[in-house]
Structure 1
């Protein structure tokens, strides 16, 4: 299957009430395991990819290491591959995206946080970046699925503040759509009423990341979520299990 066919097929997997389930992986081996389960797409997670190479999350891993990981994954599986691009790994965002596309990626996550700070990129600047990334994909003939992530809820640990953030989230969603985004990712949002409100409002597929306080997958499906991901949880749980086994054996 061609890269463009994978890209178009991946986009079609995002449907309200029938979401694509992405069990985030970190290397070629974990990607192959997920492919064997009957999954329809492969998604990396920045936290897991970094940790697997001994780095902290937040673009501390060099882009060259991420690119090598993506190249190995793409050459090891046949499913559509979406990559956690964080904020683009420095100033050479367009060149970095071009390299990921050449490696075989058909989707990316792009964050609006200011790396290392507890604040968000201004909407005009974030939209400018999204537009540039869309142009890079178009120049390579790839219908790239740009999953525009907002950290507005993730940065507000007190979930009681989330209702007051909805207007800003919706404003960002619409602006990101106009700038070329394909989907809207709202990690940290866990209130079922707010998730339903966002899904009903959004013309873009909404991505929710599950954790200990989000509704179960069945309820997220009913609420209208189009994409469900699990973030670093698989890696964290696997490493905890590995540590437990090692401690028992030593």
Structure 2
């Protein structure tokens, strides 16, 4: 059963799932703390939030890759979900050793979806992790929206073979019940079109990489379900911070376009 103190979880999960299935692409600008979550949530057109594990870890001085303690990671996610009224999906990396138990705790923190990396482990093991996460959602009384990630394209030497491996793994995750498959590293039109052809429309999720990725409107035309920004939104913010610092240290002023957002 879901936590009686969070009676809206099932509804948030339903909304998040519908956003993935809708004809309009779901655009998620990833957040990493309460103030970034509030700023993104208050932006016109934003319908859900996603956390970035890399960015949350960096905020506390940890490298990406499950180096931030899980309790600390979950605490931040809990603060974010409590600060906004939108559905939140959490990147919980490769599951911290027990994907099902971690998903249970993610739901307790108020998130209704999440990313799970397969790390290219044997497919049978990766599918078992997907099933464990979805089972945790059912036991909590929600349809947990799993963005099942395959790293096939990130480790590719032969790009065409990597696309086919991503499709093979993605189909297995969809068959296990995941509603969408996340394929970071896929950025070209041909690769993304092949993934959509192999996995189905509104079943593919990608990441927007500065200077490389297709615009969201073109991804929507290709049939992509979701595009997120991962750590790049934090890098956008840090780039602006460093540029503003450099300008004022050099004798200038802060940008006139600065808005008071907190």
Could you state the TM-score of these two structures normalised by the residue count of structure 1? 0.91
| 1:108 paired to 2:114 | yes
Give per-residue Cα distances to partners, 1:98-136, cap 9 Å, x unaligned: 1110111110000011xxxxxx11100000111111111
CA distance in 2, matches of 1:216, 1:136: 35
Give per-residue Cα distances to partners, 1:205-237, cap 9 Å, x unaligned: 211111121222221111111101111111012
Structure 2 residue runs of 5 or longer lacking an equivalent are: 1-6, 250-262
Deviation of the 1:30 alpha carbon: 0.5
**Map of 1:145 onto structure 2:** 145
Question: Helix, strand or coil: the match of 1:215?
Answer: coil
CA distance in 2, matches of 1:53, 1:14: 31
CA distance in 2, matches of 1:136, 1:231: 24
- RMSD (Å) for aligned C-alpha atoms: 1.5
**Map of 1:208 onto structure 2:** 206
Which has more radius of gyration?
Answer: 2
Structure 1 stretches of 4+ moved >3 Å? 247-250
**Map of 2:165 onto structure 1:** 168
Count of equivalent residues: 240
Tell me, yes or no, if the aligned pair for 2:91 and 2:115 is still in contact at 8 Å.
yes
| 1:238 paired to 2:256 | no
Question: Helix, strand or coil: the match of 2:148?
Answer: strand
Tell me, yes or no, if the aligned pair for 2:93 and 2:116 is still in contact at 8 Å.
yes
- Larger deviation, residues 60-69 vs 239-248: 239-248
CA distance in 2, matches of 1:54, 1:192: 36
CA distance in 1, matches of 2:17, 2:172: 20
Structure 1 residue runs of 5 or longer lacking an equivalent are: 114-119
Give per-residue Cα distances to partners, 1:10-49, cap 9 Å, x unaligned: 1111146511100001011101001100310010011111
Deviation of the 1:243 alpha carbon: 2.0
Structure 2 counterparts to residues 14-163 of structure 1, below 5 A:
14-15=20-21, 17-38=23-44, 39-89=46-96, 91-113=97-119, 120-156=120-156, 161-163=158-160
**Map of 2:217 onto structure 1:** 218
- Larger deviation, residues 7-16 vs 101-110: 7-16
Tell me, yes or no, if the aligned pair for 2:25 and 2:216 is still in contact at 8 Å.
no
Could you state the TM-score of these two structures normalised by the residue count of structure 2? 0.87
Tell me, yes or no, if the aligned pair for 1:42 and 1:81 is still in contact at 8 Å.
yes
**Map of 1:117 onto structure 2:** none
